[in-house]
């Protein structure tokens, strides 16, 4: 990791966890050309606790935003392990898919997804700005409140 990215993470109080291993028939990251395609990462904290809940059914906006931030940290952990710790090789966060466990009446998915988007911008600056989909789901793996997948473009010939 570059010093500047390391410093940004430290300033944000983030220590990247060990990346989660797949729990079914898929791989966590696929390298294709100059991109990483990162499988869904749930809102599972470094201590193993899954931030679980449903927005619109007693799970607050603040809890949802934190769950999105935690899922985004798990995306960063997958990027780091796939680039031998070199988050500085990220040219751009191209797209995030943010899946929010929500009731059918919940409509603030984009506000919850900002927990992930704001983190990417805080870490990567302009390169963290991305396209995004924010979708409501009736349930997510392990009861997680949020799951995020990503497409990341790398510098040069990293892949």
pTM of the model: 0.94
Residue 61, in any domain of the structure: yes
Decide if pLDDT at 45 tops 80.
yes
86-114 pLDDT tens trace: 898 999 999 999 999 999 999 999 999 99
Residue 8, in any domain of the structure: yes
Residue 64, in any domain of the structure: yes
Q: Round to whole Å and give the CA distance between 96 and 114.
A: 11
Decide if pLDDT at 159 tops 50.
no
Closest CA to 72 of 132, 126, 23: 132
Residue 148, in any domain of the structure: yes
The CATH number for 136's domain is: 3.30.1330.40
Residue 159, in any domain of the structure: no
Structural domain total, the chain: 1
51-62 average pLDDT score: 97
CA dihedral 79, 152, 117, 9 (to 10 degrees): 30
113-123 average pLDDT score: 97
127-139 pLDDT tens trace: 999 999 999 999 9
Tokens describing residue 138 = 């009736």
**Residue 10's domain spans which residues?**
3-154
Residue 13, in any domain of the structure: yes
């Amino acid at each position: 990791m570059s010093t500047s990215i390391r410093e940004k993470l430290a300033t944000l109080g983030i220590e990247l966890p060990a990346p989660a291993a797949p729990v079914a028939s898929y791989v966590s990251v696929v390298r294709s050309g100059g991109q990483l395609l990162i499988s869904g990462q749930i809102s599972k904290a470094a201590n193993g606790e899954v931030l679980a809940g449903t927005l619109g059914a007693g799970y607050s906006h603040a809890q949802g935003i934190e769950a999105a931030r935690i899922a985004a940290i798990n995306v960063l952990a997958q990027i780091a392990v796939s680039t031998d710790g070199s988050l500085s090789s990220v040219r751009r966060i191209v797209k995030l898919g943010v899946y929010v466990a929500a009731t059918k009446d919940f409509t603030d998915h984009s506000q919850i997804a900002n927990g992930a988007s704001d983190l990417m911008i805080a870490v990567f600056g302009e390169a963290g700005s991305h396209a995004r989909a924010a979708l409501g789901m009736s349930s997510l793996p392990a009861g997680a409140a949020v799951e995020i997948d990503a497409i990341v473009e790398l510098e040069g010939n990293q892949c």
